Amino acid sequence: MTLFTIIEILGTLAFAISGIRLASAKQFDWFGAYVVGFTTAVGGGTLRDLMLSVTPFWMLNSSYLVVTAAALLIVIVFSRYLVRLNNTFFIFDAFGLGLFTVVGIEKTLAAGFPFWVAVIMGAITGAAGGVLRDIQINEVPLIFRKEIYALACVFGGMVYGICQLAGMTGGTLQIVTAVSVIAARVVSVRFGFSLPSLKQAPGDSTK
């Protein structure tokens, strides 16, 4: 098993747990929670693959269904402990964000696209699943709020490019990129960094 495969599996598990954790807060049943978890885990990668004109990755390997089931089991068995940890969702979401950004970048580059496309696809892979998750649980998608989310993925893409130019390759490059995304997300939330909101002009009407 390659490091890249391990990153994919861990990212799937992390995102699935984050989605199932939010679904449990909304009191979804087990099947509904599984659907939310699976959508969170594969949604961004599916959109990426469709845009790259390749078969969505989870249709070629059933392990993603199994990993999501494992995530559901983890939440069911350890729900009492997960509920006590108010930052559980944030931890798993940030972890999945970083890992899937790496997956998106490398799959796009392997498909022969230029680096700027890889940065965009890395952000889509990392953030789009969370958008679909939030829509399913009837929340305003996190990417549209003031928090630094998709921009953390873009930052990770820039780090990937700089490190690659510096001669870094393989697992080291993947790990550094993932950590940079996670760090950007954690630091932005910890210190309240955010983009300014787009405010309505005086006299403007939404009607």
The pLDDT, as a whole number, for residue 203 is 60
Q: pLDDT tens string for the chain (207 positions)?
A: 677 788 888 888 888 988 898 888 888 999 999 999 999 999 999 999 999 999 999 999 899 999 999 999 999 988 777 666 656 677 888 888 999 999 999 999 999 999 999 999 999 999 999 899 989 998 888 777 767 888 999 999 999 999 999 999 888 999 999 999 999 999 988 888 877 776 766 666 555
The pLDDT, as a whole number, for residue 95 is 87
Nearest to 51 by CA among 158, 123, 140, 3: 123
- Cα(127)–Cα(150) distance, integer angstroms: 6
- Cα(177)–Cα(205) distance, integer angstroms: 43
Cα→Cα distances 3→65, 102, 103, 111, 175, Å: 20, 11, 11, 19, 10
- Cα(56)–Cα(53) distance, integer angstroms: 9
The domain limits of the chain are: 3-190
In terms of C-beta density within 10 A (0-12 exposed, 13-18 middle, 19 or more buried), how is residue 50 classed?
A: exposed
The pLDDT, as a whole number, for residue 146 is 64
**Quick one: tokens of 42?**
């594969």
The pLDDT, as a whole number, for residue 132 is 92
Handedness of CA 22, 72, 179, 177 (dihedral sign): negative
The pLDDT, as a whole number, for residue 84 is 61
Count of positions (residues) in the chain: 207
What's the pTM value of the predicted model, to 2 decimals?
A: 0.84
The pLDDT, as a whole number, for residue 24 is 87
Name the 3-class secondary structure at 181.
Answer: helix
Nearest to 21 by CA among 40, 42, 45, 44: 40
